[in-house]
Amino acid sequence: MKTKKNKDRNALWMSSIDNAAKFIMLLCFLIGAVVIALKQDAWNAAAENAVTLSPMVKSMMSNLLLVYLVVGGIVVVALMCCADKRRVRAQFESIGLTNHAGMTPVLLRKHQERNHSQIIIWEFRNYSIPLEEWEKKRAAIETALSINIIKIEYSAAKRHIRIYAVPASHELQPVIPWSDCYLSNENFVLTLGESHLGLMTVNLNHIPHILIGGSTGSGKSILLKSLLMQAYRKGAVIYVADFKGGVDYPKIWHEKCRMCTDERALLYYLTQLTTVLESRKKQFAESGCPNLDAYNQITGENMPRLIFACDEVAELLDKTGADSERKKLIAQVENKLATIARQGRAFGVHLILATQRPDANIIPGQIKNNMDFRVCGRADNVLSQIILDSTIAADQIPKDTQGRFITGDGTVFQGYFFDESKL
Ligand SMILES: Nc1ncnc2c1ncn2[C@@H]1O[C@H](COP(=O)(O)OP(=O)(O)O)[C@@H](O)[C@H]1O
Ligand SMILES: [Mg+2]
């Protein structure tokens, strides 16, 4: 403990010494430039009068300020980079990011990401420190380097590590109200929120089903409703399963969506959806169309996308305490959801399911494995593991945030705050 404190103090000292050294170096460089600029005339005269000097030396003397700025600038930048490297090493030492031999990663370069100028890529020689170790120390690295990490990945055949980050001052907004300008023009793209990389979108043409996880109050319902509202505006027919007696879905939703408020209605609607799926399969095959967009384009029809949504899928599929009749019904529901999950993409039938229950058996593998777009809000390790197959949501989504989600590939975003009273 004492050593850690000492290390922290050392790192702090090193960092302030480095900053002071950088400042003094820059100051000296600028004073040198001013002195040379003031004496440039004298150097010019000396260059003209010196007969024995070569023309190259003479020309350097008459352009001394330029030479000084170029050569001196390169030296100063190189020295600053060394100072940066030393500071980073000291910081890593203080947080214990070392390999078995006690070696810390070395900063190789820092540069802007090509498509997102606010993102800086830090590249390190990692000296055999596995990516998992970097991930474990993510929060400590963020504090040490004063950054917000977007992602960490291997490069150069695992010899290097790349950290994509924004400065610590770049925080995601805690609330971003939905505005119609976020509605995508693209077919069939839904916008979820904003990450450090820009708008977070999902294209149902490519990724047909969405699974949303998160504990109570993490923002699942608002995210789900914002997606449903966008899909509705784009002409989709929406089916919503809500067994909570209409608390979650006020009247306005009942006017715009087909609501299933009990299990019989649920099975009826799911049967309808799978029947439509089968008939679309035949129609598409007959007209030689691979998917819904192609079919609509070729035939000139406007066949809508169908979306089945459920805010708490565990409620539909929970078999605990169920009698045999109910178990049979749940099995049928599972079966139909699995069919849509497997085959829905080409035929424009989609699932958007949410859950807060950290129960591994709630969503059967044949449904979950076909839900490629998964996001998780504030969650414990178990729920995060169920939704994303890793604990990143538990590790990276702060407990006090609402509407903050993370995707399987580690992209954190703030979902739009959608106010249904303005629907
Ligand atoms: N995107 C968001 N931005 C800001 N606050 C949000 C957002 N989503 C939800 N919240 C806040 O969190 C509360 C709970 O949201 P809700 O969607 O009902 O959570 P859940 O369905 O996960 O229980 C909301 O009443 C709202 O105050
Ligand atoms: Mg909810």
Helix axes 263-287, 292-299, angle to 10 degrees: 60
What is the residue with the minimal CA distance to atom 2 of ligand 1?
Answer: 403
Distance from residue 222's CA to the centre of ligand 2 (Å): 7
CATH number of 100-171: 3.30.70
Distance from residue 285's CA to the centre of ligand 2 (Å): 40
Give the 3-state secondary structure of residue 13: helix
Close Cβ partners of 42 (under 8 Å, ≥ 6 residues apart): none
Does residue 323 have a pLDDT over 80? Answer: yes
For the CA of 224, the closest atom of ligand 1 is 17
Q: Which of 172, 191, 221, 222 to mutate to test the pocket of ligand 1 (most atoms within 8 A of CB)?
A: 222
Q: Whose atoms come closest to the Cα of 192: which ligand?
A: 1
Here the contacts of 88-94 (C-beta below 8 Å, separation 24 or greater) are 88/145, 90/10, 90/11, 90/14, 90/15, 91/11, 91/15, 91/144, 91/145, 92/141, 92/144, 93/7, 93/10, 93/11, 94/4, 94/7, 94/8, 94/10, 94/11, 94/144
Distance from residue 7's CA to the centre of ligand 1 (Å): 41
Does residue 264 have a pLDDT over 80? Answer: yes
Distance from residue 330's CA to the centre of ligand 1 (Å): 29
Q: What's the pLDDT tens digit per position in 23-59?
A: 888 888 899 989 988 888 888 888 888 777 788 888 8
Identify the pLDDT of residue 174: 94
Q: What's the pLDDT tens digit per position in 344-367?
A: 999 999 999 999 987 778 888 889
Average pLDDT for residues 255-263, to the nearest whole number? 90
Does residue 204 have a pLDDT over 50? Answer: yes
What is the residue with the minimal CA distance to atom 14 of ligand 1?
Answer: 217
**CATH top-level class for 176-422?**
alpha beta
Ligand 1 binding pocket, CB closer than 6 Å: 175, 214, 216-222, 402-403, 415-417
What is the residue with the minimal CA distance to atom 4 of ligand 1?
Answer: 175
Whole-angstrom distance, CA of residue 166 vs CA of residue 283: 50
Distance from residue 218's CA to the centre of ligand 2 (Å): 8
If you average pLDDT over every residue of the chain, what do you get?
89
Identify the pLDDT of residue 15: 56
For the CA of 226, the closest atom of ligand 1 is 1
Residue 18 vs residues 1, 9, 30, 109, 141: alpha-carbon distances, Å: 25, 14, 18, 18, 19
Does residue 89 have a pLDDT over 50? Answer: yes
Distance from residue 214's CA to the centre of ligand 2 (Å): 9
Does residue 239 have a pLDDT over 90? Answer: yes
Provide the residues around ligand 2 (an ion) whose CB is within 5 A: 221
Confidence class of residue 17 from pLDDT cuts 50, 70 and 90? low
